[in-house]
């Protein structure tokens, strides 16, 4: 790989200008996955994806002096990271042949190493899942003992009920699908499908348990009776996309359609929420279908609304290519082509800090002000994926110029404010409203395993390859 990362910015809202940064994003993606691979291979006995490092200092996390207060060291395994990581490894392996910077030999060498890593991590996680009655937890020991953190920050062992499912099960079911498909493990594909069906069933019946432990007081995650989040529906669409794309089974097209319809009907304001603006996206609703209101505010996470557009449109692009579509699926495509650009533009406007560059973590749809002005890294690449997918879904969209503006602002903010050139081109997890990196944990202490950044960027690059610059409406 001869090309050196430049940190290039986009200077005009055109497809050709966006395409000018492709090589930088390829270098970034390769550098990050190489670092993840190197970190894995340095310890032949530790078969977990290891992103236990500070993006601010570059130092590895060490175990706490009091092991019962440790959630950063290598004795604390995040189920989210391992599930997302398996999906990431599979996605990067599939992407390698499309990378313009690698020779065939370099592609094959990385592919062999990444496949071996995927096989070993997958086997390790399946061993852990087996000792927990087919389930996983947000936090576990390397031996598979699930635990949470009590109010004093100490480990508290928990047992996993085999009849329940959690957010961690959702993330791992998706990772299991991706790994099993990549490795050609038909037995595990069938097992993953059953696991995923169970998760989706719990989501659709309002019985998915949130098991995330929050390490940020400004981002509480405890479940509240009657509060119904869109999160499970949204994230599960990705599992349907992989299954539909690679197996072409009616079940997964129908499932993806159902999940998308639920979110757009219940969480996007299309006129039913009279006190909100059109196309606002609410984070949660109450049992009557009204926006969840607490202390006089209605919470929206702008990043989640933009992530939803990217996740749903990824499914729609697969659906669009299918020859045999139902009338309902054709109608869904038409509806989303019309609706999604408006949702993207409105919620980007709600959340984007134009002075600094970044999307706030939480926004109040009543006062129209940020509730949490911290800006996590993940929502920018997710928005870039959403924007370029919309351009591919409907090349003649009336909102093309505004979508390209959003692409430009997100890429430039990400490059200027988040990418740490000294730490594997990884992104700071959080910056404050002044653009300074802060030691705030958005979800896990472990850094991104190439999931938000890697997979979103890979989809961004994949869509750009498919967009024909001369015929694409480019804005001005």
Q: What is the largest CA-CA distance in the chain?
A: 61
pLDDT in tens, 39-80: 999 999 999 999 999 999 999 999 888 989 999 999 999 999
**Is 233 within 8 Å of 264 (Cβ atoms)?**
no
Q: Are 156 and 150 in contact (CB under 8 A)?
A: yes
Calpha distance 233→242 (Å, rounded): 15
CB-hemisphere CA count at 13 Å for 376?
Answer: 24
Q: How many C-beta neighbours within 10 Å does residue 11 have?
A: 10
Q: Report the candidate in 110, 86, 113, 88 with the shortest Cα–Cα distance to residue 97.
A: 110
Q: Is residue 7 part of a domain?
A: no
Check residue 146 and report its DSSP letter. Answer: E
pLDDT digits (tens, 9 = 90+) for 83-111: 999 999 999 999 999 999 999 999 999 99
Q: Kindly report whether the global pTM for this prediction surpasses the value 0.85.
A: yes
Nearest to 328 by CA among 417, 250, 249, 412: 250
CB atoms inside a 10 Å sphere around CB 141: 16
Q: What token pair was written down for 150? A: 């009590």
CB atoms within 10 A of CB 18: 24
CATH number of the domain that 186 lies in? Answer: 1.50.10.10
* pLDDT value, residue 280: 98
Cα dist. 206→200, 209, 226, 284 in Å?
A: 10, 9, 10, 12
CA–CA separation, 403 and 463 (whole Å): 14
Beta-strand relationship, 208-209 and 165-166 = parallel
111-163 pLDDT, tens per residue? 999 999 999 999 999 999 999 999 999 999 999 999 999 988 999 999 999 99
Three-state secondary-structure class, residue 208? strand
Q: What percent of the chain has pLDDT over 70?
A: 98
Q: What's the DSSP call for residue 431? A: E
Q: pLDDT tier at 311 (50, 70, 90 boundaries)?
A: very high
pLDDT exceeding 90 applies to what percent of the chain?
A: 92
pLDDT, the chain, mean: 95
Range(s) of the domain holding residue 343: 15-466
Measure Cα distances from 166 to 210, 212, 216, 222, 243 in Å.
6, 9, 20, 13, 21
pLDDT of residue 169 exceeding 90: yes
Is residue 4 included in any domain, yes or no?
A: no
Q: Is the pLDDT of residue 475 over 60?
A: no
Per-residue pLDDT at 469? 66
Tokens of 49: 């994806």
The alpha carbon of residue 370 and the mean position of all alpha carbons in its chain are separated, in whole angstroms, by 22
In a domain, 129, yes or no: yes
- Under DSSP, is residue 359 helix (H, G, I), strand (E, B) or coil? strand
Q: Tell whether 429 is covered by a domain.
A: yes
User: Does 470 score more than 80 pLDDT?
Assistant: no
> How confident is the model over 173-187, as a mean pLDDT?
98
**Lookup result for tokens 């089974």:** 249
Residue 298 lies in a domain: yes
pLDDT at 186: 97
Per the CB < 8 A criterion, the answer to whether 166 and 199 are in contact is no
Please check whether residue 169 lies inside any domain of the structure.
yes
Q: At what angle do helices 456-466 and 302-321 cross, to 10 degrees?
A: 50
CA distance 85 to 80: 8
* Domain-embedded: residue 2: no
Q: Taking residues 413-434, what's their average pLDDT?
A: 97
Tokens of 293: 């209101």
Contact at 8 Å (CB) between 82 and 48? yes
Number of domains comprising the chain: 1
425 is a domain residue = yes
Residue range 240-267: mean pLDDT, rounded? 98
Reply yes or no on whether the pLDDT at 165 is more than 50. yes
């Amino acid at each position: 790989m001869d090309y050196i990362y430049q940190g290039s910015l986009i200077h005009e809202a055109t497809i050709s200008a966006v395409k000018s940064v492709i090589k930088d994003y390829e270098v970034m993606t390769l550098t990050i996955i190489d670092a993840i691979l190197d970190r894995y291979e340095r310890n032949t006995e530790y078969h977990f994806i290891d992103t236990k490092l500070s993006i601010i200092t570059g130092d590895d996390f060490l175990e706490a002096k009091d092991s019962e207060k440790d959630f950063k060291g290598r004795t604390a395994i995040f189920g989210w990271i391992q599930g997302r990581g398996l999906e990431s490894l599979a996605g990067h392996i599939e992407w390698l042949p499309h990378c313009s910077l690698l020779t065939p030999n370099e592609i094959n060498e990385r592919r062999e190493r990444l496949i071996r890593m995927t096989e070993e991590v997958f086997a390790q996680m399946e061993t852990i899942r087996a000792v927990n009655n087919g389930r996983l937890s947000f936090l576990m020991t390397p031996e598979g003992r699930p635990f949470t953190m009590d109010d004093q920050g100490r480990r508290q062992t928990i047992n996993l009920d085999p009849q329940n499912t959690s957010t961690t099960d959702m993330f791992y079911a998706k990772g299991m699908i991706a790994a099993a498909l990549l490795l050609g493990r038909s037995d595990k594909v069938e097992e993953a499908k059953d696991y995923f069906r169970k998760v989706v069933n719990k989501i659709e019946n309002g019985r998915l348990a949130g098991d995330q432990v929050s390490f940020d007081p400004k981002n509480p995650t405890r479940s509240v009776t009657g509060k119904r989040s869109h999160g499970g529906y949204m994230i599960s669409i990705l599992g349907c996309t992989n299954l539909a794309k690679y197996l072409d089974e009616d079940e997964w097209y129908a499932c993806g359609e159902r999940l998308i319809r639920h979110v757009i009907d219940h969480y996007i304001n299309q006129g039913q929420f009279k006190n909100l603006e059109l196309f606002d996206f609410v984070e949660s609703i109450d049992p009557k279908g009204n926006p969840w209101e607490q202390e006089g505010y209605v919470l929206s996470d702008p990043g989640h609304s933009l992530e939803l557009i990217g996740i749903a449109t990824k499914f729609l692009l697969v659906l669009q290519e299918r020859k045999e579509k139902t009338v309902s699926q054709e109608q869904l495509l038409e509806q989303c082509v019309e609706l999604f650009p408006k949702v993207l533009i409105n919620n980007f406007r709600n959340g984007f800090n134009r002075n600094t560059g970044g999307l706030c973590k939480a926004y109040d749809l009543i006062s129209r002000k940020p509730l949490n002005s911290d800006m996590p890294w993940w929502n920018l690449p997710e928005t870039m994926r959403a924007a370029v997918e919309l351009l591919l879904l409907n090349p003649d969209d009336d909102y093309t110029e505004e979508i390209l503006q959003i692409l430009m602002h997100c890429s430039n903010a990400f490059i200027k404010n988040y990418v740490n050139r000294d730490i594997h081109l990884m992104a700071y997890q959080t910056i404050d409203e002044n653009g300074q990196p802060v030691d705030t944990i958005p979800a896990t202490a472990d850094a991104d395993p190439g999931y938000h950044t890697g997979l979103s960027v890979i989809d961004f690059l994949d869509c750009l390859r498919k967009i024909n610059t001369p015929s694409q409406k480019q804005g001005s």
